[in-house]
Amino acid sequence: MKIIMLGAPGAGKGTQAKMIADKYKVPHVSTGDIFRANIKNGTELGKEAKQYMDKGLLVPDELTVKILLDRVAQADCENGYVLDGFPRTIPQAEVLDKALTELGDKIDYAIDVNVPDENIIKRMSGRRACLACGATYHIEHIPPKKEGVCDRCGEALVLRDDDKEETVKNRLNVYHEQTQPLIEYYTGKGILKEVDGTVPMDQVFEAITDILG
């Protein structure tokens, strides 16, 4: 069972990817984690990727797919995997499809965790973080006992730059421009499944397990 997770930043696709991986005993493959592992281990692919990253350049799609295929060729991916964070664009999806086809393989499901922009802005701009101990809160859903103060260590809570409304809107614009076309792409391939990401997390997961069986 080979799955791609789609959804806007803050839609909760990473959380769902981990839950799918746990339930179906398949690896949760995050491109960010693979890059870090290859660079840390000094692999040839890692060295190549690092040359781009050190210059602040994007790693080319072909190299990203090579690193990804190297990861999914490992024994723990024999029964499938959940891809999180890749592909982000149609060209990336095409390179991945071509590479998998050459291996006699394919993606089984692309699952879109669908959440409207206004929900995401509200969700992310309500987050608060403690920079001292790493605890996270939400002013509506998981508020601290005392406003602006971490329950765990008593330090001040902050709104991270990543979660500021303006930043969230910019990230959503990039998503709509670059990543949302993948929904049409995978619909055309007959493998797109959409779930409502506005309901509680366990209900989102239930909808996904109904699809996967």
Q: Where are the domains of the chain?
A: 2-116+165-212
Active site residue 152: no
Buried b (16+ CB within 10 A) or exposed e, 173-203: eebeeebeebbebbeeeebbbbbebbeeeee
Identify the active-site residue in 146, 160, 164, 189.
160
Identify the active-site residue in 50, 88, 122, 169.
88
User: For 165, how many CA atoms within 13 A lie in the half-sphere containing its CB?
Assistant: 4
Identify the active-site residue in 18, 50, 171, 193.
171
Express each pLDDT in 113-133 by its tens digit.
999 999 999 999 999 999 999
Encoded amino acid at 20, one letter: I
Class of domain 2-116+165-212: alpha beta
Active site residue 128: no
What is the DSSP-derived secondary structure letter of residue 81? Answer: E
Identify the active-site residue in 2, 13, 66, 128.
13
Token pair 């997390």 is at which residue?
201
Active site residue 71: no
Other beta carbons within 10 angstroms of residue 89's beta carbon come to 16
Identify the active-site residue in 66, 71, 123, 127.
127
pLDDT on residue 162: 87
**Angstrom distance (rounded) from CA 160 to CA 206:** 31
pLDDT on residue 32: 83
Q: Which residues contact 48 (CB under 8 A, 6 or more apart)?
A: 63
Stretches where the chain sits below pLDDT 70 are: none
Active site residue 88: yes
